[in-house]
Structure 1
């Protein structure tokens, strides 16, 4: 029989009823509390919101240091006391004046830099009503607020701003610095010559100085003074801030307008590495700018450190050598060498591309002093002369116009109506590729150029017109670019010249000039890469200053961990066969090591023979203001069987004299001496440790 359930009442358990009642009480309490907050305390909470502001500011951190390969500091940071100003939003000129007056009680300021406008703006704030009355309503209606302000300032007379006291001038100077500040961005008010007393007094009174902070700042310091400084580069001052022409680039990467950034050299090239990460602090301030709380939300990290391939002990020696030899040359014939200013040298490891020393010295004739201009090794290009004949010989092999061991008779060639002709410094007679390099035969290179241009007559008939296909220009230049001649070297530096190309291609005589280094110009860095490529069996490596990047050190007694290391970067292998490269290497060896070689008297003598150097000498003719001058150059490497050092030297615009100082050879000799002496000393130190 079925039970009837229609009238059955469902009973809710007692515990569930209790739970419902508790939930009801909680909601009632919450509603009551919201009412209390809204009705009783709402005004006070709103006042607190209106009274305080939360802002985030970014604090600069020390820039990364730069070390040489032996971890000697090349560019350091020097700590300074610093007084900064970080304005809150909405701060007006009157507010900044009040801060300046208070700050002037504790801080002395140099007033030499204040301008007439600074004085007028100060006078305006003290006499606002009177100044505003000088502009009629009709005049004001036709102007923007900025135009009104400028017009009012123009009405302020010289007499009205001429009698400020020294104390008022200090206030004006401080306010001028405060006016430079951007909202929420620290602006340095004073960081030079801040005394410990000034620092302490400002720090003790920060509560009365809205936006002011007593902190530490830094400036770049150079323990080796001018050595390598032009290559290390420079940074902007805080007054300069980020460059205007790259403002958007930096702002989109988290920079502030008054941040210091690298503006030249390695400081610029490695800006992203050296800059570090700013510390971010969230400030809670009252409306008047008084800070009532602060919280660090992002920890700052100093910039990473650069470890260079440069050996500063060796770099100092090379700078000294280059300057001394330049000075000797100028003193010997000051009148004849009136266009001589520079001496340039690059020393690198031909197998790795590590730059060991880069030197440039310039004689300032007006001050009669020598200035370090090492950047000119990459910026300035000059006619290289016969140093590039190794590339010409290899171009002849690869193009098929000459063969290893081929002989040409070195005698003056006369093309068409050129009665003077083109030749070597004397007729050398029959020369092959070895002796053409050893004796520096121009004629051998002329035949390579003529044959590449389509002229195959040999011997070339005097007075004839030469057949010439202008495509030979591109072919020859393409071969040269494989060595880095006329092409970027790839160096880690903000700017390098690739040299200048001549632009007349119709005359075969000009390609003949090109083949002996008398047409296109190249930098000393390009010459160093070129000779390194020959020394390195045809492998062209990228020259570089950077050895490694390290994280900031935890203490001054140790280096930080390695962040990144630089490895050898092979840019290309020249097309020429290894056996052909070996022939040029042998020719270069004979230049320095065999009697009759153009460098033998300097590198083949008993005192230099042990260095086992190989290389090529060069002289190029050029004219300045109608005066004939010569460039002297030299490239080389040592030891020739296992090269570990390659060098290139350029001395432009010497006067033509018979007994001039052999500056290029003397610099080359002394560079080898210094390199192997420094290496010996360091090896002995390492063994003793």
Structure 2
């Protein structure tokens, strides 16, 4: 058998091995070269860039929210202040299971269902990377318990926060307004205004009232600090710090004690009162009853409290002084009298015979006077003192609606006063043009008759009427009403005192003013519609009562107050200024469903005058329960 023996080609195998080895080494060297080149690129070429990124991972820029400015009344009484407390906050983006985390926290800290609901609402309105409070104002015991267990709750932390507080609660609430947590809509507006950078780290913003109107002054300037943090994002040390600048303190024109006196004078009635210094436009009291507790809104109002406020038939959230619009009733008669004198439609001695009603020529419809039997012979002076409707029915038809509109517009009726608070409405002083545009109907003489006694389409706010009263008291010189008296720097204590601004000065006959104002003084004396309120006063004050219909009365029907549901009874008005010879305060009082200005609204004004001028509370002027009828019509 032939056997073939195979011999290995050793040299070839060694050659192939060396070739493969060389290729492998070359490949490894290539990879090492690439790695080295990348390393050089990163460490040398890009050194500055990556060093900066590393620093950013180690150093965090933390905004420091400024302390909000305080609010004081004109005498230094604090109306809005800050206090420090701990809050328990959750950053939802850092929490794996939010519900479980909150449940576990509830075993350490008292977390109520309302807290969970509020947190859920805040979470829906804010960005997930922001920390949001699950509980505010923790007790010392709660702080201690959580601190021990903190390691168990990543994304949950204690923070010391400044909280706003309104010590007067419902009193002055509509004037001050309140702050609330910043939401997405606020952020969008701040970005639009290009001031969002100044709100980084801030949780609250003014919502209504002074808090909203002077937000920029109150907020201050945000600071920041460079903080070294560990791998978990916890603060290790502060590297540098730029302190925030606290917001400015505001000194208002309001007298807190006068405000308290005015609010107490309303008792359980709803309504509004605005008192103004005629010599400079400073608002001395700004009442809207009922009010609400602004402290409820700071952290987000709970549903039950919101429902109670929002569904209340008393409308406590409605700022009646600023936004309430009501027929002015007979309070416009002094201005009608001035218009009649100005347009030469009346002279001081011109007299009518009042049978208790007025009829238009060729018409059988009777426009009734509040006094069925009439007032007999009535001149201009008496028409104001006894509030004769018949006199002003006739005067209105002779003047015509456009002349009335023009004259009243000069006193600011139908216009915003320009007060330094957002949300004011303009009221309404109608004209032929307005009715055509609004209702697509022509103006009738009967419309003018109603306007002549402050009914029909006419609407005013308590603020507007107080402004017009102050202008009347000042013989036609109108100072713009304002609530801010001084701005005080929180870090230098320097004060910026705001001056008075004259809106306009009416070129009217001074004798006409004197006649009308003397008649208004007689209103508060024997025989006048506010004689009860003026009785025993050690100073003379001028005023005019008014009654504004809530529901219309058909021709031939009689309005009997005791037979009308309380919420459909007439509103009671009183406008006045004091002292008569040198006015220091002018005001307008509205009492919703109060009935008669002389018996309900005027006594409130008297109490305010007594405190402001004499420094004392007035004695009760009338013992009357809310359900009883007033003793005077107007």
- Calculate the TM-score normalised by the size of structure 1: 0.67
Q: What residue in structure 1 maps to residue 393 of structure 2? A: 446
- Does the alignment pair 1:647 with 2:587? yes
Counterpart-to-counterpart distance in 1, 2:309 and 2:423: 27
Q: What residue in structure 2 maps to residue 148 of structure 1? A: none
Q: What residue in structure 2 maps to residue 474 of structure 1? A: 402
Shift of 1:188: 3.9
Structure 1 pair 393–74 and aligned structure 2 pair: CA distance change class (3 A): same
Which whole-Å deviations, capped at 9, do the CAs of 1:289-346 have from their partners, x for residues lacking one? Answer: 354554445320221111111111121111111125x3xxxxxxxxxxxxxxx23222
Counterpart-to-counterpart distance in 1, 2:140 and 2:362: 82
Counterpart-to-counterpart distance in 2, 1:216 and 1:654: 48
Counterpart-to-counterpart distance in 1, 2:112 and 2:571: 51
Q: What residue in structure 2 maps to residue 620 of structure 1? A: 548
Counterpart-to-counterpart distance in 1, 2:512 and 2:598: 35
Contact in 2 for aligned 1:440/1:598 (Cα 8 Å): yes
Deviates more, 1:69-78 or 1:411-420: 411-420
Contact in 2 for aligned 1:242/1:257 (Cα 8 Å): no
Q: What residue in structure 1 maps to residue 329 of structure 2? A: 385
Which whole-Å deviations, capped at 9, do the CAs of 1:638-662 have from their partners, x for residues lacking one? Answer: 1100111112111233569xxx992
CA-atom RMSD in angstroms: 4.3
Deviates more, 1:254-263 or 1:612-621: 254-263
- Does the alignment pair 1:596 with 2:597? no
Which SS does the other structure have where 2:423 is aligned?
coil
Question: Within 5 Å, which residues of 2 pair with 1:556-595?
Answer: 561-593=493-525, 595=526
Q: What residue in structure 2 maps to residue 9 of structure 1? A: none
- Does the alignment pair 1:668 with 2:612? no
Contact in 2 for aligned 1:66/1:307 (Cα 8 Å): yes
Which whole-Å deviations, capped at 9, do the CAs of 1:419-454 have from their partners, x for residues lacking one? Answer: 24225324333333222212222233233322223x
Structure 1 pair 179–106 and aligned structure 2 pair: CA distance change class (3 A): farther
Shift of 1:517: 0.7
Counterpart-to-counterpart distance in 2, 1:113 and 1:365: 17
Which whole-Å deviations, capped at 9, do the CAs of 1:614-657 have from their partners, x for residues lacking one? Answer: 1111123341799673222111111100111112111233569x
Shift of 1:528: 0.8
Shift of 1:178: 13
Which SS does the other structure have where 1:490 is aligned?
coil
- Does the alignment pair 1:434 with 2:381? yes
Q: What residue in structure 2 maps to residue 489 of structure 1? A: 417
Which whole-Å deviations, capped at 9, do the CAs of 1:142-168 have from their partners, x for residues lacking one? Answer: xxxxxxxxxxxxxxxxxxxxxxxxxxx
Which of the residues 219, 237, 255 maps onto 2:181?
237
Question: Within 5 Å, which residues of 2 pair with 1:25-424?
Answer: 42=44, 49-53=52-56, 54-83=59-88, 108=109, 110=111, 112=113, 187-190=131-134, 192-196=136-140, 199=143, 214-237=158-181, 240=183, 243=186, 246=189, 248-249=191-192, 252-254=195-197, 255-256=199-200, 259-285=203-229, 289-291=233-235, 294-296=238-240, 298-323=242-267, 326=269, 342-362=270-290, 375-411=319-355, 412-416=357-361, 418-424=363-369
Which whole-Å deviations, capped at 9, do the CAs of 1:512-558 have from their partners, x for residues lacking one? Answer: 21121112011111111111111111111222221111112x6xxxx
Deviates more, 1:264-273 or 1:671-680: 671-680
- Does the alignment pair 1:514 with 2:441? no
Contact in 2 for aligned 1:540/1:570 (Cα 8 Å): yes
Aligned residues: 535
Contact in 1 for aligned 2:545/2:598 (Cα 8 Å): no
Contact in 1 for aligned 2:88/2:136 (Cα 8 Å): no
Structure 1 pair 368–63 and aligned structure 2 pair: CA distance change class (3 A): closer
Give unpaired runs (5+ residues) of structure 2.
1-38, 292-307, 436-440, 555-563, 619-634
Which whole-Å deviations, capped at 9, do the CAs of 1:253-305 have from their partners, x for residues lacking one? Answer: 43349731111111111111111111222345566535455444532022111
Counterpart-to-counterpart distance in 1, 2:42 and 2:392: 100
Structure 1 pair 642–292 and aligned structure 2 pair: CA distance change class (3 A): same
Counterpart-to-counterpart distance in 2, 1:113 and 1:614: 52
Contact in 1 for aligned 2:572/2:595 (Cα 8 Å): no
Deviates more, 1:356-365 or 1:417-426: 356-365
Structure 1 pair 562–513 and aligned structure 2 pair: CA distance change class (3 A): farther
Q: What residue in structure 2 maps to residue 337 of structure 1? A: none
Counterpart-to-counterpart distance in 2, 1:378 and 1:179: 30
Structure 1 pair 448–295 and aligned structure 2 pair: CA distance change class (3 A): farther
Counterpart-to-counterpart distance in 2, 1:313 and 1:625: 41
